[in-house]
Structure formats: structure tokens, C-alpha cells
Amino acid sequence: MDPLAASFERFRRHGDLQALGHVFDALAPRLLSVALHLCGNTADAEDVLQQTFLLAMERDVGFDPARRLEPFLAGLLHNVARNARRSTARRRTEPLPELACADAGPIATAEREELLTLLRTNVDALPVEQRQVLRLQLQHGLSPAEIAMALEVPPGTVRMRIHRGIEALRKLLPAGLAVSVFAAFAERGLAAVKQQVMSAGRAHAAAVAAGSASAAVFGGVLLMKKLAITLMLAIAIAFVAWISWDGEPAAAHPGVQANADPRMIVAAVPHTAAPSAGNEATGERSAPAASTGALRVRVTVRTNSGSNDEVVPVAGTWLAVWAGGSPLVPYDADVLRAATDAAGEAVFTSLTPGPWHAQLVAETDAEPQRVAVTAGEETLLPFERTVKRVVRGVVVSADGAPVSGAEVWVHRGTAMGRYSTPERAELESRRAAVTGDDGRFAVPLLRREDRIAACREGHGESFAANASQEQDVRLVLGRTFATLGGVVRDSKGAPVANALVRFTPAGRDTRRAADGTLLSPRVDRLTRTDADGRFRFDGIAPGRVRAWATAWPLNPAWKELDVAPFGMAEVALQLKDGVSVVGTVRYADGTPARVGVHSTPSLDNDGHYCHCETREDGSYELYYQPRRRFFVVVGRQKRVASREFADPECGIVRCDFVLEGNAPAPVAAPVRTAKVRGRLVDVDGAPIAAKEVALRLQERGEEGERIAATASDGTFSFGDLEPDAFTLVADRGSAAMRELAQFEALEGRHYDLGDLVLAPTASLRVHVVRADGSPWRGPMPYVRLTDAKGSRLDRTNEPVPGGLRLQVWPGQFTVHTEGTDLIAAPQQVELTPGVETEVRVPVAIGRSRQLVWNGDGAHKPQRNEVLHVTVREAGGAVVVQRDVKDLLPDLRGFRYWYLSHVFAFGRYEVEAHSDSGLRYRGVLDVRDDVDDPTRVDVPRMAR
């Protein structure tokens, strides 16, 4: 007989509580992990675990002591979880009516009214967070997990708030009554579940000791338990009658769940305490269990704006936390991830004591911070970054009225897939703020964040603003809106809960509004699917949109569809089974190997699913590849080792390599450095003394530049140069910066640049005006100069009132004014040394279009094959006449002719032909509509 089954049978026959405790301690952690998988949240899993043990203690469950106990309890737990889900689906969510007791006399009625009056009087003194959770649980019947989803805080925080609110109200009631009312809302946890199970076991033991029939006595205990629950429910419903008189509805935003992770990697060794992550915006401190600890991570930024420095919390940014001493994020062990709340905090609870590491997910190249977690305590770990500015602005409706409660999303200009490793999808954008009553917001910018936009139910989402340039951002919501809903399913058609869904809105091109304001592409939004695999995005702009979903280890799926104004569109996304490969590459002596690793469907071709470089410890990860036969190959140019996987399972596949021989000893080849010298003179040949010159690597710009000052005779020198390409500049960091020379330093060579003439500069001031002569109100366009040969002179544009100033060499130049949707004629200027020349540039607003000739997919032009293009106005005047050689690649690798041009509003006829006889003809309508697509496919004519 199974020893645990024997212990459980000894409890049932003889009331041995020690045996019951032994069974619980041995099986509860593993059963709780199963319950977590079935229920999706800690609170429901603990309830299911408790009901499973209570049901197993009854006599009529059909347990055979000869069987093993754990499979029996696991099967019972599945049934309890299934019934709990059905019960939740049927649960009513409207407020319950006040319970009327037919036999309640005037004294009981008066006592109840007195109790309700007492509660009404004192509950408003509770913090708003505690009032919210109590009302959502009692009035609306939500579980702690559902409350957590509505308020976007972790379930542990919800239970903590419920506990603290009840503790505050408990003091208002008589002791005996308070225990009865609030016992059902006690703080949970594995220890609390065990305590309740043991309490039921004591009742069972007492029945055994009294000599009564065990089943009958235990049934009586259950009956009394039901009566007690009924009594507590009656008093709780009276509480509902009190709270239903008014209330503060908890606003639920359809944003990203704070503690959800689409890539739940299960550790090979189960944890004794299942960690959880969450957020808490109010600064409340959770009470960690005696055997575990908690970690509160706070992310803030400090603006470096001189005397007005301020510290601002960073909301919506993702954190990764993992245990152990290694600073490398584990591939095949538990990694906890959570997004910061409005206060810039994320709380990780139930952590095993010891060393932990934390890292901002967006800063994969930064060293993670190490922190020690102490049992029974909460540790605060601050992340503070310095930023140049905090973006401030306002969200308004199409009529110009401020909009409160609007979500402000920031786009991160990621290099998705850089270094051949896909970035986490959560980094695409973050919900950084919610507007206040006056519609205003403040958002600190992190690295690579370049666009900011807003959305609100009942409005169309706004175009984005350039977050890194504009000072006071004004985001205008659209007048027309729509809704996108859908479901995510796996390869077998089952709904996928907690899948990450990214919504890419219409309007992916930069546009110019009628007043000159630059409208950047709208920002993607993120959400997660519910228990039924469903998701929803409200307040979207009509047009061509895309929905993209992933739920590791399944492979991503996406679809594009057209959404009509004020319509509701539905999309179904089916994820295919995916495989991730993790492992290490080491030499025979155990030294980690720094090599390239990739997965490929065959060793006979160059195609691959994923590739990466091993890390310092030799570890690697290949993921998002289909579940089919593949090879894992070590080595980029030359195959060093490989392994075949014929029928891989969905999920993680382990693949370690041991290379033949020992690690090669590092050989430091001697590098002979180069040296460069020169002399700085004016136009008359006189030396220029005490002038700073900067030497820069051509690939790195200002980063790592070296500075030298000229001597009295104008000479300067730079030594110890590694072989590379360099640029020498003067007047760095100003609008008058000038490039003096470019050269490539070879190993061991000495270079003499000779006399470098630094001529006096000329100044050009460009006044930008509207075509009708009125002042230009939008962001300044970019101005470039070309010389008589057509060579481009790149110079810094210095903003001045009403235009731009450029510092250049004297001479004759052509002024080109460029910008999205802007039309301006080139102008000729002659610049004199030491004189500021002014030029007035009228600009008109049109629409940028990209004309594409793809031959309906039937013809793929060869390189240098020419297409002769002519574009005429409706009246016949030629607007564009050009020979096109540029080829545009598509996702399939085909290349087609394309031409980019800014057209004035109107209708145009497009004609084109190639030397091989291909002919194209089409009509182009350019309207003053910012949602019109940029790309236009010109149809091919039949021969």
C-alpha cells in the first residue's frame, strides 16, 4: 500500500491528525501547482485544493486504500476545478437584493439597521483601494483574481486589501458576530488552507472519539458547516444592501495585465513555494510568509533639466526577476515578469530567500541588479534612470474638449529581431499613463521611445506625436471609431487564455495635418485574452488593421482585416505548436564556447528558423520555430556539430553540445597603432592656435570621440589609433560644425594631413511660410543644401524664430526644403563669408505617395532594368517624368519598381513602360484624408 494512502486511511479510521498533516504537507504543493494550471490564479486554486481535501475526507468518495493516493486526489481535484469553473460561469453579477427574514422581529430589525448605519458611517474612512475591493467582492460577486484583473493589480494585493479593510471593519462589530461575518474573507495561502483542512479533520476526529458512525457524524459536521455558511451569507447580503446605496465603480481598463507572462517556462525542479508577481500603486506593504520573502521593485527616472530636476515613476515597463547567483537570465528555469503600475512599482511575493537578480526587460544590454531576499520581509529595489525630458501634454476630442481617462501609449522604436534574437512582444509599446480630469498627462521617455498616442472608448485613437521633439504634445482623438474583438485558439481549436495580443491600428504612415502638424503613425496596443481566449480593443480608428497573438510555446499568428466606421469586427487567431531549444555548447574541458548556433529544416540548404550566439556561459536559446523535423547546428560559416530532432514535442527541447578538444588558448595578436598629424590654417595660410578639433570613428559619430587643441603653430596630432576609418571635424556640437578630413588608418602607419584650411563660414537663414504667405505653425521641415555638382552638404539645422539657420562655406547652393507631405520649390542662393543671407521658402501641404509597379506578381524586374514613368495632371501637364531603377522588396523576396513623390491634392494619370514591353496605366486620386494609404499599386496593361 502507498505509505501516504496508509496515513490517510489511518486518519479516517482513527482520527490521527498527525497523519492528515503529513499527507497534506507531502501532497499539497504538487496538487496546488496542478490547481494553478487549471484555475489560472492563486485564490481559486487554493479554494479548489481545500474542497478536494474536504471531499476526500468523506466516506462515500470511493477511495480504495490499496491505490496510490496522489493520482486519486489529482483526479478529484480536476472534477472540483471543472465544477468551480461551471459555477463561476453561472454566477450572477448583478447586486443581490436585501435578504428579508419573515420571522425577524422589531428588535432584530433595529439591530440590523443599527449595524448597517454603523458600517455606512465608518466605511468612507477606509482608503479608496479597500473600499473598491470590498464592494467588487460583495456587491458584484467577483473573486480576488477577477478583481485583480479589473483593477490591474495582482491577486495577492487584492487579498491584502480585503484583509485590511475587513480588519478595520471588524472592530466595529461585536466580537462573536464579527468572527462569523468575516471568517469567509480571511487571508489565504497554503498554510491557511491547511489550517481549515485540519479544522475539519478535528471535527472528524472528535466524531471518531465519540464512537459515532464516521460517515454520519461527518455528514452532520458538513450540515452544520452549511448552516454556518448560510448565516454568514445572510449577514453578508445585509452588507450588500448597505453598499448598494451608492458606490465608486472601479474602472477596468482593457490594458496589459500586470503579472501575466506569455512565456511560462516550467522549471525542471518544482519550487517549494510558487512565486507570484504583481503591482501595488498605493505603497501598501504585503506581509510575506515566515518562510518566504517579497521584493518590491520601483522604477523611476530623474530628469536632468538643471535646477528643476524631478523624480517621475515609470509605468508599464516590464521587469524580469530570477533566483540564483548568475547575472544571466535563465533560459530553462522560472523567470518572473511583471509590468510596473502607475506608481512605477511591481511586487514579487512568495520568493525563496537568497540571492535574486532583477533587470528591466528593455535593457538587455545593461547589467542586472543583485538583491538579497530575506524570509518574512519585503525588500525594496530601486531602479533610477536619468532622462532628458518628461513628455507633457493633453488629450482632446475631435471638438477640442479635454478627455479624461484616456490611455496614453508610448511606442518603443525597437530593432525587432536584432542580433537574430526576437525581442519580447511586450516591448513594442507600453501604457504609460491615464489622463486626469483636465485631460493632461506626463510621461518620462526611456531609451528608443519615439512616439506617443492616445485612445479612449467612444473615440477613434489619435495619430502619434514625435515624443522626442515636441515640447507640449496635443493628441487629438478621432471622431469615428470602431471595435475589434476576437478569440485566440491553439492548434486543436481550444481557447488560449492569457495570450498576448498586439493590435496594430490603421494609419501606419506619417502624415501632415492641415495646420502643418506632423502626425506620426498610430501606436500599437497590447492586451491579454481572458479565460475563454477572447480579447477586445475599443476606440480604434477604422481602416486596415492587424491583430497579432502569441502564447509561448505556441508560434505567433496574425491577420489583417478592414474595420468599418462604428462597426464591430471579429477575428480568430489560431496558434500553431512551437518548439524552443535551449542548451549549452562547451569544450571537452568544460570551458564555454562562444559560437553561433542555428536551427534549420535541413543540413543541405541555407534556410533556418532561428539563430543566435552563445552567451558567456555557453548557453543559447532558439525559439518560435515550427514543430517539425529540424537540425540544431553549431557554427556559422563551418558546421562544427549538429543534432537532429525528428519528432519534437511542443515546448522546450534540451540540446547540449560538447565539442572535441579543449578550448583554444586566446592569442592576442600584436596590433601596431597608427598616428595622424596635421596643421590648421586660415584662408591666408596663417596658423590657427588653440582651436579644438575632434577625431571620430565614422561608424560611431560623437560617441568616443577624441579631442585635441592646436598648438601655437596650428599643429595637432592623435596617437595610438586602432586600425579604422576616421573623420576629423572642427566646431563640433554647433550649427557651424565642419568636416576637415576623412581617412582610413592602417596598422602601424603615420599620416600627415598637411595644412587644413578653416575658411570663414557664411550664414543662411531660411524663413518658412505657408503657400499663401501666412506664418508656418507646424514643426520646421528639414533644409538641405547642394552645390553646383549636386553634392549634398549635411549641416545641422539650428531652429530660430520663424525658420532655421545654417552655417556653411561660402559659395552658390540650391536650397531644398523637405518634409512629409510638404511641397516646396528649390531656390538658388549665393552665400558670402561672414554675411547672413536670408531666403523665404513657401511650402504647401500635399500627400506623400509611393507608386509601385509589381506586374501583378507576374514579372520580377532584374537589377538595373529601367522603367520609364510619366505622371500627368488631369489637364495633361507633366508632373513627374523619370526613369526608375529602384526596386522595392516584399515579404516574399520579390522586388518591384517604386517611386516616392509628394503630390498636390487632385487627380493624376500614371503611365509607365519598360524596354521589354511591359506597360502600366492607372489613375491616382490624392485627397486631403490622412487615412488614405501611402502605397499605390499601378495596374499592368495587357499586351
pLDDT digits (tens, 9 = 90+) for 708-740: 999 999 999 999 888 888 989 887 666 567 788
Q: Return the higher-pLDDT residue of 31 and 536.
A: 536
Going by their DSSP bridges, the two strands 836-845 and 827-831 should be labelled as unpaired
Instruction: Please give the pLDDT value at position 227.
Output: 42
Strands 706-709 and 692-697: antiparallel
Asked if 678 and 729 count as a contact pair (C-beta separation under 8 A), the reply is no
pLDDT tens, residue by residue, 870-916: 999 988 899 999 999 888 776 555 778 899 999 999 999 999 998 88
Position 417 confidence tier, pLDDT thresholds 50, 70, 90: very low
Give the C-alpha distances (Å, rounded to integers) separating 120 from 111, 411, 470: 14, 45, 49
The top-scoring range by mean pLDDT among 155-164, 247-256, 649-658 is 649-658
Contact assessment for residue 516 and residue 474, using Cβ atoms and an 8 Å cutoff: no
Task: Return the pLDDT at 686.
Answer: 93
User: What is the overall mean pLDDT for the chain?
Assistant: 79
pLDDT at 297: 96
Q: Maximum CA pair distance of the chain?
A: 119
Counted residue by residue, the chain has a size of: 943
Residue at grid coordinates 495633361: 876
Cell of 636: 556559422
Find where cell 576623412 sits. Answer: 742
Can you tell me the distance from the alpha carbon of 212 to that of 207, in angstroms, rounded to the nearest whole number?
Answer: 6
The answer, yes or no, to whether residue 629 has pLDDT greater than 70, is yes
Q: Tell which wins on pLDDT, 759 or 840.
A: 840
Distance between CA atoms of 443 and 8, rounded to whole angstroms?
A: 58
CB atoms closer than 10 angstroms to residue 213: 12
Sign of the C-alpha dihedral computed for residues 28, 30, 31 and 34 taken in this order: positive
Weakest mean pLDDT among 268-277, 612-621, 647-656? 268-277
Distance (Å, whole) CA 553 – CA 629:
17
| β-strands 674-681, 750-757 pairing | parallel
Which tens digits make up the pLDDT trace of 311-366?
889 999 989 999 988 898 888 667 898 999 989 999 999 899 999 999 998 887 78
For 433-446, how does the pLDDT look when each residue is reduced to its tens digit (9 = 90+)? 999 999 999 998 88
Cα 145 to Cα 152: distance, rounded to the nearest angstrom: 10
pLDDT digits (tens, 9 = 90+) for 502-519: 999 988 888 998 888 889
933 Cβ contact partners less than 8 Å away, ≥ 6 residues apart: 509, 544
Beta-ladder partners of 452: 410, 465
pLDDT of residue 208: 66
Q: Each residue of 828-842: pLDDT tens digit? A: 999 888 888 999 999
Q: Is 933 helix (H, G, I), strand (E, B) or coil?
A: coil
At 647-678, the pLDDT tens digits run 898 888 999 999 988 888 776 667 678 899 99
User: Contact at 8 Å (CB) between 759 and 810?
Assistant: yes
Query: What are the pLDDT digits (tens) for 547-600?
Result: 999 888 888 899 999 999 999 999 999 999 999 999 999 999 999 999 999 999
Higher pLDDT, 760 or 116: 760
What is the mean pLDDT of the segment spanning 256-273?
28
- Statement: residue 226 has pLDDT above 50: no
Share of the chain above pLDDT 70, in %: 75
Lowest mean pLDDT among 107-121, 253-267, 665-679, 913-927: 253-267
**What is the pLDDT, as a whole number, of residue 180?**
43
Query: What is the structure's pLDDT at 851?
Result: 93
H-helix or E-strand spanning residue 109: helix 106-123
Q: Which residues on neighbouring strands pair with residue 556, listed in sequence order?
A: none
127 pLDDT tier (thresholds 50, 70, 90): low
- The neighbour count for residue 278, using CB atoms within 10 Å, is 25
Give the list of residues 6+ apart from residue 746 with CB closer than 8 angstroms, or none.
Answer: 674, 723
pLDDT bucket at 287, cuts 50 / 70 / 90: low
Q: Which of 219-223, 282-286, 588-592 has the highest mean pLDDT?
A: 588-592
pLDDT of residue 50: 84
Quote the pLDDT of residue 638: 85
